[in-house]
Amino acid sequence: MKVRVAFQGERGAYSEVAALQYFNITELIPKRTIADVFYSAEMREVDYAIVPIENSIEGSVNETYDNLLTTSLKIQGEIYLRIEHCLIGYEHSSINSIRYVYSHPQALGQCRGFIQRHGFEPIPYYDTAGSVKMLKEKRPDASAAIASRLAAEIYGLSILAEGIEDNKNNYTRFLILAYPEKGEEGVRRVEEGEGRVANSISPNSKTSIIFTLEHRAGALYNVLREFASRGINLTMIVSRPIKDRPWEYNFYLDFEGHELDDRIKECLEGVKDKVVFLKVLGSYPKAILQ
């Protein structure tokens, strides 16, 4: 039985590459936006959604954070994907013939040095693989795209240069989301070799939460003290503006441990007393950076 997985972008997007690495047997469903990916899973059109959450060079993917605030989906897993960018163009093209380069703004930012050294004019596009598809269909002059090797293979264009990212420690972290009952299915599918989603407690679990604070001095310190006093390791904290309350923020926090662990349950009970709003996004197996 195939797992249906929605990802953002055209065929060949890095989200598709991550899904292919995470799941063994999949039917991959491309969606134009991250919001579309969430909606597809929420409407049960697919079994899972895979979305980028942060890049080690360019930082947070804000659209994902904003959708996590309102979704009913739970995080079931994560994967780190090493991002290796390619300059992709027409057959028989040379780098010296390129004037314009298309890609997603994050990819353009990750290849900023390469672009500047060659004097290219960067042109933002909604998706890395989408820029390759556009190149194939519209064939603009003196143009190339930045995307994955898979995108070049899918659309039959040539790789003019590989590994053009400025920093070789370039990773994107992706989240795998589904309704809670999918975590139980994931345990079975792991045993059957279909994927790596699970919802059982393990010593290598990670938990993600969102919380909102009262707008007063020491509010964030009081929350973080709940974790520090119990020796719980925080792995990420990000703030996002609350859209109808200027200069106030939602905080997204990742930490080691499972929400069903006694120590974590005690910590979250302490946090509840110190926040206006708390949402547990899920507990899931911690990915290994390779």
Sorted by sequence, the CB contacts under 8 Å of residue 261 that are 6+ apart come out as 201, 205
**What are the two backbone dihedrals, phi and then psi, of residue 147, each rounded to the nearest 5 degrees?**
-165, -165
Residue type, 158: S
71 catalytic? Reply is no
Concatenate the DSSP letters of all residues of 23-79 into one string. -SSEEEEEESSHHHHHHHHHTTSSSEEEEEEEETTTEE-HHHHHHHHH---EEEEEE
Tokens 């027409």 locate to 90
CA 145, CA 128: separation in Å to the nearest integer?
8
**C-alpha angle 121/127/132, rounded to 5°?**
70
172 catalytic? Reply is yes
Concatenate the DSSP letters of all residues of 118-133 into one string. HT-EEEE-S-HHHHHH
Q: Which of 7, 23, 120, 174 is catalytic?
A: 174
Q: Which of 26, 172, 207, 212 is catalytic?
A: 172
Sorted by sequence, the CB contacts under 8 Å of residue 233 that are 6+ apart come out as 255, 256
CA 195, CA 83: separation in Å to the nearest integer?
22
Contact predicate 17/81, CB 8 Å: yes
Tokens 């390129």 locate to 98
Q: Which residues are catalytic?
A: 172, 174
